[in-house]
Amino acid sequence: MFVHFWSSIANLRTTRAVANFFSDLLTHTEEVMLAKRLTIAVLLMRDKRPIDIAHALHVSFSTIGRVSTWVSRAKPETKHELERIIKTSQWQVFFDKIEALIDTFPPRYGTDWSKAGKEKFIRAQDRATRASLR
């Protein structure tokens, strides 16, 4: 059963075919959660803080914990694919938007606000530079 399922997915040749297949197979909520889990995994690999991920994606800490466990136990092929996603330019634009959203949150209690503000400014400059180079 699983072999047929995975081979059916492997035979889908275009992004549109894969999207249509999964939109028919999954409910809207399942699609959103699957996309959020992938995004959580990539953000964790980019060393984003769980609290920032939770606020930006509106997910629970238990979801982030489960995804973190999955990433730490993932096969080398899976980790390689996640790293490839991080380097893809269309994902870079998406991550810049997420990072900009995260930067709108105030610093945590006990944080040096001046230092945090300078770090946010530097990240904003880096995003602007990357955007101008695209």
pLDDT in tens, the chain (134 residues): 989 988 988 999 898 999 999 999 999 999 999 999 998 998 899 888 898 889 888 899 999 999 999 999 999 999 999 888 888 767 778 878 888 887 777 777 788 888 888 888 888 888 888 777 66
Q: Write down the pLDDT at residue 121.
A: 87
User: For residue 64, what is the DSSP state?
Assistant: H
- At 133, list the tokens: 């180079």
Q: Write down the pLDDT at residue 34.
A: 92
Q: Provide the residue ranges of all domains of the chain, joining segments of one domain with +.
A: 2-133
110: left (phi over 0), alpha (psi -120 to 50) or beta: left
Give me the residue label for tokens 């995994």: 41
In this structure, which topology does domain 2-133 adopt according to CATH? Trp Operon Repressor; Chain A (1.10.1270)
Amino acid occupying residue 132? S
For residue 63, what are the contacts with CB-CB under 8 A and spacing of at least 6? 36, 37, 40
Q: Write down the pLDDT at residue 112.
A: 83
Contact yes or no for 75/99 (Cβ under 8 A): no
